[in-house]
Chains A and B, each alone.
Chain A
Amino acid sequence: MADLSINFAGIKSPNPFWLASAPPANTGEQVMRAFDAGWGGAVWKTLGDPILNVTSRFAAVDLGTYKMMGLNNIELITDRPLDVNLKEMYEVKKRYPKHALIASLMTETKEDWRVLIKRCEDVGVDGLELNFGCPHGMCERGMGSSVGQEPKLITEITSWAKEFAKTPVLIKLTPNTGDITEAGLAAVAGGADGLSLINTIKSIIGIDLNKMVPFPAVAGASTNGGYCGPAVKPIALYMTAALAREQGIRNTPISGIGGISNWKDAAEFIALGATSVQVCTAVMHYGYRIVGDMIEGLSEYLDAQGMKSVEELRGRAVGAYREWGDLDLGHKLVARIDDKSCIGCQLCVTACHDGAHQCIFTGREEKQRPPHAHAHGNATPPTPFRVGAIAGERLPWVDEPECVGCNLCQLVCPVPGCITMQEVPGGKHETWNDRTREGRTKLPGGIHDV
């Protein structure tokens, strides 16, 4: 059995799965139930001066029958008195000494930060997470993402915190920024011991077209909220990877957040450089119980890969995340349609014709190639003509010389494994950066060619 325990900038946790700072980590009673279910750590719902909340607070995007593909909220930080939270945090830490308990903080002046940090550390938290990410409400008051969008402010407040803190300081970044590495570097410059990302993405989830009010509606009006859930995972993965491969950040541990619902999602974040992962929406949807599969699934996966610890997985995919200019231009793929499993829906035909390169055809006749074609003459159906086991004569065929290997047909095909991308051997390895070095970047048909 692989070792799932982690050490995040000195914060020890039995596994990499932490509750993100959000409703699932609102109270001591919840956090203790979560630890009992298997969560390794929790970042408490952000503490600060008391706030008022509105109702309703959430709205979501469903995808077909799958509910809450993306979740949007306009909730602020904790609405509970600080001393109540602190008392419960003390209790949690006392009862669960081996679990990671992190206080999420948001406040304004240097003195506020000093007091808040001291009071949290006095109850025994293992670390602090500064919330520079909330993109609604708090940012209007100069906190949250309005800090996270200003590298100078990030550095300044981080250095305040480092001045006061005895425990590790994590900076929770906002994705609502042009270049995430700038924000990450600014936090590191301020002395951050770790980075957490992403907080939610500024969003409007939809509009009630009868009432002309965006969701979630609050007495006839709404505001932009923070978007999270499975839909944001690709953005969060990118931002995690961008930090992980940045020279100046490489040695700073990352807590990956955004759309993590199962062990596979978590493994992806870890492979792209995260040391721990945090979860909010999936717990809001299905409860603390999901961590059982996360622990077991990750452990099974590591065993199957022959890896002895989470640490061995960490960052394994970072090296394969490159600049476009370093990708191999000589690599060529073509789509191949399996005649046994094709059901003849021909979605690939439409996708290729309208959305790609007009090279999937049907029928026995020769087809005229589109005007942009690279190959000469007509496209000819395969001989002997292939008839599908299920699709019959509806089985489409690929004009391989014209296929650019874009994957679109495979992505739209409803039958798993029916369309595969086959490698065409013989391509010469060459990258755009190679061509740049050799001065071969000028291609025919440019702006100045007549």
Chain B
Amino acid sequence: MKLQAGRSEESLPDKEAYTAAEAVAEAERCLYCTDAPCIQACPTSIDIPTFIKKIASGNIRGSARTILEQNLLGYSCSRVCPVEVLCVGSCVYTGWGREPIQIGKLQRHATETVGALTSLYTPKPKNGKRVACIGAGPASLAFAGYLALEGTEAIIFEKRSVPGGLNTTGVAPYKLKADDSLREVQWILDLGVEVRTNTEVHPASLVNEYDAVFIGVGLGDDSKLGVPGEEGPGVVGAVDWIEQMKLGTAKAGKRVLVVGGGNTAIDVARECALLGAEDVALVYRRTKKDMSGYAHELLAAREEGVRLVESSVVTGFVRDAAGKLVAARVKTGEAEREVPCDLVVIAIGQAKLRAVAEQLGVALDKRGCVVVDDNCRTNQPKVFAGGDCINGGKEVVNAVADGRNAARHLLKEWA
């Protein structure tokens, strides 16, 4: 899996990795707490102090093993997890007013140093079971990977041309670039998982062919504002634009407006700023304190020059005779003004993908999320689901936890 060169995301900076000595020095700082709060804060409950102490002792393979036994996508998670509000945020050092342990960077050090999963694990002999997954995002990859380790044949159908889900197509490049996501996908495929890209399947038949089916389709298209002038060049959906920036050559404009207040909105704003836009403004309908995006992300965006325009909505777009975007109409309170811009990115959420679930006879809740039990099983006994399609859009690590839990449950049932 090799992506073409010259993609826009390649010009964005990378997160800095630890050198081996730096990792050991940081690992030595870990207090090795009992019943550690970081473990509880991790949706996959990685035994964090143990993996860190193994870095300190030089048992790097053991460290990676401790991570991966709970989180098979420990590598991408180490780079994309919002650690500030998860493990790192709960470090006892934080409460004490000291610098918390850099758990994400340490986790990256262990998983990246060890690399291929096959260097740690040999999948068990075939257990005669076969499963199919729909969508090759983190949820399905975790599900398929854990089952493959135990000898289950796993196949993933992916409608896009590349696997990895939003890890490949959506996550901010300064956290994880597409080729790094694909590198991790390959580690999982090497366990014997098959992925068929460019394949949108007819799920109904799968239930008969396989011992279990996993729905990991994530979310759908970007929602629209539904205001005059929205259709046409210059106004794009956030997830769509990000995908084209990561896998293609989509550029930031000179003057960019990003509409929304969530993490996707903040991501796009930062990405545009880093790609060289002269002015980037986040237009949010309420105030800063209401934003669903993380405070640390907003802070980072503002450090990169992103402006926040609070309590404002976009009511329409102004285009010239040729249809080119010229400005957006921004309404703050009663006042409405035209803000000149050449790119507007709409980041107000994504639609739910209902079709797959409906074809399988799987129940959805009011919001359109797949309904599952504690083991991620749907109302159809052979059908499981996990990730954004059950929670409406959380983090990669939640998707991994779902896939893993479903796999563990099936293995227990089959045992």
Kindly state whether residue B94 has any CB partner on chain A within 8 Å. no
Instruction: Please give, as numbers and ranges, the residues of chain A lying within 8 Å of B21 by CB-CB distance.
Output: 416-417
Kindly state whether residue A300 has any CB partner on chain B within 8 Å. yes
- A416 and B54 contact, CB distance less than 8 A: no
How far is it, in angstroms, between the C-alpha of A287 and the C-alpha of B35 when the chains are bound? 12
- Contact indicator per residue, chain B 31-57, by CB within 8 Å of chain A (1) or not (0): 010100000000000000010011011
Residues in A248-263 with C-beta less than 8 Å from chain B: 262-263
- A293 and B28 contact, CB distance less than 8 A: no
Kindly state whether residue B382 has any CB partner on chain A within 8 Å. no
With both chains docked as a complex, state the minimum distance between the C-beta of A162 and any C-beta of chain B, in angstroms. 39
- B28 and A66 contact, CB distance less than 8 A: yes
How far is it, in angstroms, between the C-alpha of A262 and the C-alpha of B60 when the chains are bound? 13
How far is it, in angstroms, between the C-alpha of A296 and the C-alpha of B29 when the chains are bound? 22
Closest to B58 in A: A264
Given the interface pairs A416-B19, A417-B21, the reply to whether A289 lies near B50 with Cβ below 8 Å is: yes
How far is it, in angstroms, between the C-alpha of A213 and the C-alpha of B53 when the chains are bound? 36
Closest to B29 in A: A65
Given the interface pairs A263-B59, A300-B61, A417-B21, the reply to whether A293 lies near B54 with Cβ below 8 Å is: yes
- B62 and A297 contact, CB distance less than 8 A: yes
How far is it, in angstroms, between the C-alpha of A293 and the C-alpha of B62 when the chains are bound? 7
How far is it, in angstroms, between the C-alpha of A296 and the C-alpha of B58 when the chains are bound? 11
With both chains docked as a complex, state the minimum distance between the C-beta of A258 and any C-beta of chain B, in angstroms. 17
Instruction: Please give, as numbers and ranges, the residues of chain A lying within 8 Å of B59 by CB-CB distance.
Output: 262-263, 293, 296-297, 300
Closest to B65 in A: A296
Kindly state whether residue A286 has any CB partner on chain B within 8 Å. yes
Closest to A341 in B: B19
With both chains docked as a complex, state the minimum distance between the C-beta of A313 and any C-beta of chain B, in angstroms. 16
Secondary structure call for the A interface: helix
Given the interface pairs A65-B29, A66-B28, the reply to whether A296 lies near B62 with Cβ below 8 Å is: yes
- A286 and B57 contact, CB distance less than 8 A: no
How far is it, in angstroms, between the C-alpha of A197 and the C-alpha of B9 when the chains are bound? 60
Kindly state whether residue A401 has any CB partner on chain B within 8 Å. no
Kindly state whether residue A382 has any CB partner on chain B within 8 Å. no
With both chains docked as a complex, state the minimum distance between the C-beta of B32 and any C-beta of chain A, in angstroms. 5
Instruction: Please give, as numbers and ranges, the residues of chain B lying within 8 Å of A416 by CB-CB distance.
Output: 19-21
- Contact indicator per residue, chain A 299-318, by CB within 8 Å of chain B (1) or not (0): 01000000000000000000
With both chains docked as a complex, state the minimum distance between the C-beta of A432 and any C-beta of chain B, in angstroms. 35
Instruction: Please give, as numbers and ranges, the residues of chain B lying within 8 Å of A290 by CB-CB distance.
Output: 53
How far is it, in angstroms, between the C-alpha of A403 and the C-alpha of B54 when the chains are bound? 37
With both chains docked as a complex, state the minimum distance between the C-beta of A307 and any C-beta of chain B, in angstroms. 16
With both chains docked as a complex, state the minimum distance between the C-beta of B27 and any C-beta of chain A, in angstroms. 11
Instruction: Please give, as numbers and ranges, the residues of chain A lying within 8 Å of B56 by CB-CB distance.
Output: 262
Select one of A66, A287, A289, A293 contacting B57, CB under 8 A.
A293
Instruction: Please give, as numbers and ranges, the residues of chain B lying within 8 Å of A66 by CB-CB distance.
Output: 28
Closest to B19 in A: A416
Given the interface pairs A297-B57, A300-B62, the reply to whether A292 lies near B29 with Cβ below 8 Å is: no
- A286 and B62 contact, CB distance less than 8 A: no
- A293 and B50 contact, CB distance less than 8 A: yes
How far is it, in angstroms, between the C-alpha of A264 and the C-alpha of B56 when the chains are bound? 10
How far is it, in angstroms, between the C-alpha of A416 and the C-alpha of B21 when the chains are bound? 6
Taking beta carbons and an 8 Å cutoff, which residues of A are in contact with B?
Answer: 65-66, 262-264, 286-287, 289-290, 292-293, 296-297, 300, 416-417
CB<8 Å pairs between A and B, sample of 23 = A65-B29, A262-B56, A262-B57, A262-B59, A263-B57, A263-B59, A286-B32, A287-B34, A292-B50, A293-B50, A293-B53, A293-B54, A293-B57, A293-B62, A297-B57, A297-B58, A297-B59, A297-B62, A300-B59, A300-B61, A416-B19, A416-B21, A417-B21
Q: Which 6 residue pairs of A and B lie closest in terms of their CB atoms, listed nearest first?
A: A416-B21, A297-B59, A262-B57, A296-B62, A293-B54, A286-B32
